[in-house]
Amino acid sequence: MAFPVTRLQRLRRSGALRGLVRETRLDAGDLVLPLFVTHGRDRREPIAAMPGVERLTIEHVVAEAAEAAALGIPAVMLFGIPADKDEEGSGAWDDEGVVQLATQAIKEACPELLVIPDLCLCEYTSHGHCGVVRSDGQVDNDATLALLARTAVSHARAGADLIAPSDMMDGRVGAIRAELDDAGFGELPILAYSAKFASAFYGPFREAADSTPASGDRRGYQMDPANADEALREVLLDVEEGADLVMVKPALPYLDVIRRVKDATRMPVVAYNVSGEYAMVKAASAAGYLDERSVVLEALTSIRRAGADVVITYHAKDAAGWLSETD
């Protein structure tokens, strides 16, 4: 008796059939657009390593945010480039700082758009590290916690919708949660950069944010790229301390970590498709080696397929536009 051959291709014969059985869906509502906000007025400064991305003064950041909202993107993430830096990074918690003022301006113009200021000191310190540096050149974890908590409250006062610590100091989620609660912001969720690896893919971002360490590197507090079990320990500690969402950064080289984090926590998982990932696609597409649209949508879908509920990506506006064309 002859048995019928299983024909998996039957469900691939048309776009309608492929769409009907598609397991992973990508939507503009899954994306967050990062923006670099700088001091001054009416300035747009192109970032050479990230074609299409610019440092923007507040009025231009507001316009970009409005464009993102019109495309169905639900959130923007803000990175600040202050006029002045110091050893402590005091611009980070300045209520009149560029990120705080940009947050207020965006919320006034687009009240429904979520604003997520990045919470770290590296963009504001003269030495470029993510915390207080001791005389021996090492970052003082515990001394840094108070400054991070102070910055979190400043972001909350400015109208931030989520608090997003990216520093990787031990205990910072608990310290920030306690400070927010004491200041009357107990309802604000924390998006923790929980598994943030010491990655070579951050290079273009360091140019964009002017945050390259003046000496040493960040491997003493960011994670070793070889360690996945440790990533889970980091994530679970942040959850225990009060994180409401957890992040894996970068995204594409760490898809296995994204899946493990999702399986272990069943919490909302965010993945950051970082500057180096963006720059590689831009360079290859500019050279004619890749079709940018196809590659971007495939990459973002793979991040979602791995288990990410939200993807932070510099491709967000382009991807949202392309997705709208296929609806």
Q: Which residues are catalytic?
A: 196, 249
Quote the tokens at residue 210. 């002017």
Separation in Å, CA 239 to CA 131, 150, 217, 244: 22, 21, 27, 7
* Torsion angle of the four alpha carbons 273, 278, 281, 284, in this order, in degrees rounded to the nearest 10: -150
Closest by CA to 120, choosing from 148, 88, 143, is 148
CB 288 within 8 A of CB 27: no
Closest by CA to 199, choosing from 215, 219, 213, 214, is 219
CB 309 within 8 A of CB 260: no
Provide CB contacts within 8 A for 107, sequence distance 6+: 113, 115, 159
Provide CB contacts within 8 A for 298, sequence distance 6+: none
